[in-house]
C-alpha cells in the first residue's frame, strides 16, 4: 500500500482520508499522474495492478475502459485524470493546487490538457517504436494485464507488442514520413521546460499546479522511465528529470505554505508556442471533423501531416477549454491572450462548438452502476469498444 501522510487540518476536509483503491498499472501514463497527485494531497491509496478482467469490471461500473479507475473509500468511483483532480480540488482545499488568480488557473488547466493529449502520441511512440523499450514494457504488460491468459510469457509479450504498435502507432497516425515530427514534439517539450525547471521548482513557480500533474504523466512514466527517451532526458534536460523525482516524492507539508502564483510566468514562451502552433490546432481539427460528421481529423505538426480517426474525447476537452475561457473575467481573459500571443488561438478559445458535444458521466459514479450499463463501455477516445 502506498501511503501519503495527511496534515492534521486535512482531517476536517470533505474528502475522507481512508484508503482509496487506484486500479491501473505502475507503467501507466495517467495512473502515474493520479498517483503523484494523491500523494501530494496526502490521500492514502492502494495501487491495484490491473488485469484485463479488472479493466472490464471497472469499465462496467464507470462506462469507460481506461486507466486509472479510482474507487473511493465509500464505494463511489472516479475516472478521467483531469476530472478526478477537479473533483478532489473542489472538495479538499488544503493544500490546494489550483491557483487563485483566474488567468493563472486557466493557463494551469490548459497546460494540463497539453500534457494529457499532446504528449500522448510521442510517449506511446517512444515506448513501442524501439526494440529495447517494447521488449521491456511488453513483458511487463504481459505479466500484469494478461496474467490470466494461459499462454507462454514470450507469446503474450509478442501479442502485447503487436497490439500496442497497431493501436498507438499506426492507429494514431504515425508513419515513416511523420515520425520525425513525433520525436520533435518530445525534444521541443524538453527544451521548453528545461530552463523553466532549472530556475524554479514547478512549472508555474514555487507551488505545483494542474500544469505539473498534466505534464507529469508522460514525462515520468514514459519519458523518464522508458530506456530510449530516458537517456535523452538525462542528457538534454536534467532539470526536467529532477522535477519528475521532486513531484513524485511531494507530500502536503512540502508545499502547503508555498506562495501561489499570482501572474503567468514570463519564461513559458516556448510552451505557449507548442500550445498555439500544434496543440490547439490539433483539437480544432477534431472539433471541425466532429461538427462536419467526418470520420477523420487531419492536421500538421512540424510540417508533417497526420490523419487520425475523430476523437470525441478531444472534442469535449476543447469545448471544456472554451467554456472555461468564456467564464473568465475580461481582465483575466486579456492576460491569457497576451500570454498566448496568437490571434488564431484566441479566436478558437473565444468560439464555441455549433454541434452537440459528447459529455462524460457525472462524478462521482455510484457503485450501483456496476453491470447495469445500457451500452458497451467507451475507450479512452470515448469510442464504443
The answer to whether position 381 is within a domain reads no
Rounded to an integer, the average pLDDT of 237-247 is 98
Are 138 and 39 within one domain?
no
Are 19 and 54 within one domain?
yes
| Cα 132–Cα 146–Cα 52 angle in degrees, nearest 5 | 120
Judge contact between 13 and 92, C-beta under 8 A.
Answer: yes
Place of cell 507488442: 161
| Three cell numbers, residue 272 | 505557449
Place of cell 472555461: 324
Q: Is the pLDDT assigned to residue 303 strictly greater than 60?
A: yes
Mean pLDDT value across the chain: 92
CA dist 142 and 202 (Å) reads 35
The answer to whether position 133 is within a domain reads yes
Are 150 and 256 within one domain?
no
What is the number of structural domains in the chain?
2
Are 212 and 114 within one domain?
yes
Are 149 and 282 within one domain?
no
Are 211 and 159 within one domain?
no
- Structure confidence at residue 4 as a pLDDT band (50, 70, 90): very low
- Structure confidence at residue 367 as a pLDDT band (50, 70, 90): confident
Are 315 and 335 within one domain?
yes
At residue 336, the pLDDT reads: 98
H or E element, residue 187: helix 179-199
For the chain, count helices (H), then strands (E): 17, 6
Are 115 and 15 within one domain?
yes
CATH number, domain with residue 72 = 1.20.1050.130
- Structure confidence at residue 203 as a pLDDT band (50, 70, 90): very high
Judge contact between 289 and 296, C-beta under 8 A.
Answer: yes
The answer to whether position 304 is within a domain reads yes
At residue 369, the pLDDT reads: 53
| Three cell numbers, residue 251 | 507530500
- Structure confidence at residue 384 as a pLDDT band (50, 70, 90): low
The residue among 368 and 61 whose pLDDT is bigger is 61
At residue 383, the pLDDT reads: 74
The answer to whether position 3 is within a domain reads no
Are 132 and 216 within one domain?
no
State pLDDT tens for residues 159-177: 999 999 999 999 999 999 9
- The pTM of the full predicted model, rounded to 2 decimals, is 0.93
The answer to whether position 375 is within a domain reads no
Residues of the chain with pLDDT > 90: what percent? Answer: 86
Are 85 and 189 within one domain?
yes
At residue 2, the pLDDT reads: 53
What are the C-alpha distances in Å from 153 to residues 50, 100, 162, 165, 285? 17, 51, 14, 18, 41
The answer to whether position 376 is within a domain reads no
Are 14 and 145 within one domain?
no
Place of cell 502547503: 256
Instruction: Give the domain range for residue 137.
Output: 128-172
The answer to whether position 158 is within a domain reads yes
The answer to whether position 378 is within a domain reads no
Residues of the chain with pLDDT > 70: what percent? Answer: 92
State pLDDT tens for residues 36-65: 999 999 999 999 999 999 999 999 999 899
State pLDDT tens for residues 250-284: 999 999 999 999 999 999 999 999 999 999 999 99
At residue 381, the pLDDT reads: 79
Rounded to an integer, the average pLDDT of 68-83 is 96
Are 136 and 279 within one domain?
no
Amino acid at each position: 500500500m502506498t501511503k501519503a501522510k495527511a496534515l492534521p487540518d486535512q482531517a476536517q476536509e470533505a474528502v475522507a482520508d481512508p484508503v482509496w483503491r487506484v486500479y491501473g498499472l505502475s507503467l501507466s501514463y495517467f495512473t502515474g499522474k493520479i498517483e503523484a497527485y494523491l500523494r501530494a494531497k496526502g490521500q492514502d491509496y492502494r495501487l491495484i495492478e490491473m488485469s484485463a478482467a479488472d479493466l472490464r469490471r471497472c469499465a462496467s461500473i464507470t462506462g469507460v475502459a481506461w486507466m486509472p479507475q479510482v474507487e473511493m473509500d465509500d464505494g463511489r468511483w472516479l475516472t478521467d485524470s483531469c476530472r478526478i483532480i477537479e473533483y478532489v480540488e473542489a472538495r479538499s482545499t488544503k493544500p490546494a493546487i489550483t491557483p487563485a488568480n483566474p488567468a493563472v488557473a486557466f493557463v494551469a488547466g490548459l497546460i494540463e490538457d497539453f500534457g494529457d493529449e499532446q504528449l500522448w502520441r510521442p510517449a506511446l511512440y517512444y515506448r513501442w517504436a524501439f526494440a529495447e523499450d517494447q521488449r521491456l514494457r511488453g513483458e511487463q504488460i504481459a505479466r500484469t494485464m494478461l496474467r490470466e491468459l494461459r499462454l507462454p510469457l514470450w507469446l503474450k509479450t509478442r501479442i502485447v507488442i503487436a497490439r500496442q504498435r497497431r493501436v498507438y502507432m499506426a492507429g494514431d497516425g504515425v508513419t515513416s514520413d511523420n515520425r520525425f515530427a513525433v520525436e520533435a514534439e518530445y525534444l521541443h517539450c524538453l527544451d521548453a521546460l528545461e530552463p523553466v525547471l532549472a530556475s524554479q521548482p514547478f512549472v508555474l513557480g514555487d507551488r505545483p499546479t494542474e500544469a505539473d500533474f498534466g505534464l507529469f504523466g508522460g514525462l515520468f512514466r514514459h519519458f523518464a522511465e522508458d530506456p530510449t527517451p530516458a537517456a535523452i532526458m538525462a542528457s538534454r534536460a536534467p532539470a526536467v528529470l529532477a522535477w519528475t523525482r521532486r513531484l513524485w516524492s511531494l507530500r502536503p507539508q512540502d508545499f502547503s505554505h508555498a506562495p501561489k502564483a499570482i501572474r503567468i510566468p514570463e519564461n513559458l514562451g516556448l510552451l505557449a508556442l507548442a500550445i498555439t502552433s500544434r496543440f490547439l490546432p490539433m483539437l480544432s481539427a477534431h472539433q471541425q471533423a466532429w461538427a462536419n460528421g467526418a470520420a477523420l481529423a487531419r492536421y500538421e505538426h512540424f510540417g508533417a501531416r497526420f490523419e487520425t480517426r475523430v476523437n470525441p474525447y478531444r472534442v469535449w476537452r476543447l469545448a471544456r477549454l472554451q467554456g472555461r475561457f468564456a467564464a473568465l473575467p475580461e481582465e483575466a481573459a486579456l492576460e491569457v491572450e497576451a500570454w498566448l500571443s496568437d490571434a488564431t488561438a484566441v479566436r478558437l478559445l473565444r468560439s464555441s462548438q455549433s454541434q452537440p458535444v459528447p459529455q462524460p458521466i457525472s462524478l462521482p459514479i455510484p457503485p450501483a452502476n456496476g453491470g447495469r450499463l445500457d451500452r458497451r463501455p467507451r475507450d479512452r477516445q470515448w469510442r464504443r469498444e
